[in-house]
Chain A
Amino acid sequence: MIKLIEKSWWKYAGVILVYYTIIAGFLIHAPRLDILNETIRNLFFHVAIWFAMFTLFIISVVYSIKYLMNPKTIFDNMASEFGRTGIVFGLIGVATGSIWARFTWGAWWVNDPKLNSTTVALLIYLAYLVLRASIENEDQKARISAVYNIFAFTAMIPLVFILPRLTDSLHPGNGGNPGFNAYDLDNNLREVFYPAIIGWTLMGIWLASLRIRLKKIKNKIIDYSIGINES
């Protein structure tokens, strides 16, 4: 993964997949469903970006665990920047979901278990950034935030994937609402939905990788200047 960041073929793959998402996403035949009508195409943007966020958080927590086993700066950089990009994707997910909700459910925000619990999960992740910013010692920052990141990830799983499914929810894929099965069965949508997830995930990895590389450069400069001062 760390070596892959320096390569560029997957970036082109990501761009091509997102192009495909835009073209096919607007032009393919969508199932004629009441209320949703054409907004079902949001599936390729709103839902795909949530999935991308989840992938980014997985990468982030893996590197947090790696850091705790072997405290290397690069592991901490990976964890923090993937977490940060994941949060940005999460914010996009909330914003797009809110617009979608306005035109299908009739309100910008409804007190729905899925919506509220994902917001709590995002707030937990935002606290990760606050925590990182509040510790000055680099080693302490890396270690404490790695532990916190594991907590945040394990809190997110029940909040996003389990609790909303135990109750009723307006949001598809939860509770007594079998909505998603109906669209998932539509193979037309699947043909765009899966590439869309991969495309947006790769774009997220690209954004994170740029920041990781910049951090690496920064660390090298710091090491170099320390070397000059010592000699």
Chain B
Amino acid sequence: MIKKILYMIPAVFVLMLGNLTNAFAQESNVEMADALRADGKIYVVVLVVMIVFTFLTIYLVLTDRQVKKLEKDVKSLGDNK
């Protein structure tokens, strides 16, 4: 039994190695935007999207504040009654 298990360990390793090399072979064949990444131009895209999102967020926060102000106004409205 122990012997069988001991034999299995290298077999599993060989299988894993086979899978890994297979995966690598498959990976390098597929065309990806490697040049864009190598140029560093991908950071331009990230920066642009981040700026878009930043301004939208600021706008959202300002709207949130206005709503908060209105909530306060309405609260004092109820107290006067």
Q: Footprint of B on A, CB under 8 Å?
A: 8, 11, 15, 18-19, 22-23, 26-27, 30-34, 37-38, 206-207, 210, 213-214, 216-217, 220-221, 224, 227
- 10 residue pairs of the A-B complex, CB under 8 angstroms, read A11-B64, A22-B49, A26-B49, A27-B42, A30-B32, A210-B64, A213-B67, A217-B70, A220-B77, A227-B81
Given contacts A22-B49, A221-B74, contact A206 B60 (CB under 8 A): yes
Q: How far is the CA of A22 from the CA of B78 in the complex (A)?
A: 44
Q: Does B19 contact A (CB under 8 A)?
A: no
Q: Does B6 contact A (CB under 8 A)?
A: no
**Residues of chain A within 8 A of B57, CB atoms compared:** 15
**Residues of chain B within 8 A of A34, CB atoms compared:** 30
Contact B42 A32 (CB under 8 A): no
Name the residue of chain A whose CB is nearest to the CB of B68.
A213
Q: How far is the CA of A224 from the CA of B67 in the complex (A)?
A: 18
Q: Footprint of A on B, CB under 8 Å?
A: 26-33, 42, 45-46, 49-50, 53, 57, 60, 63-64, 67, 70-71, 74, 77-78, 81
**Residues of chain A within 8 A of B42, CB atoms compared:** 26-27
Q: How far is the CA of A132 from the CA of B27 in the complex (A)?
A: 52
CB distance from A17 to the nearest CB of B (A): 12
Contact A38 B33 (CB under 8 A): yes
**Residues of chain A within 8 A of B67, CB atoms compared:** 210, 213-214, 217
CB distance from A154 to the nearest CB of B (A): 32
Partner of B81, one of A11, A23, A224: A224
Q: How far is the CA of A38 from the CA of B34 in the complex (A)?
A: 10
**Residues of chain B within 8 A of A214, CB atoms compared:** 67, 70
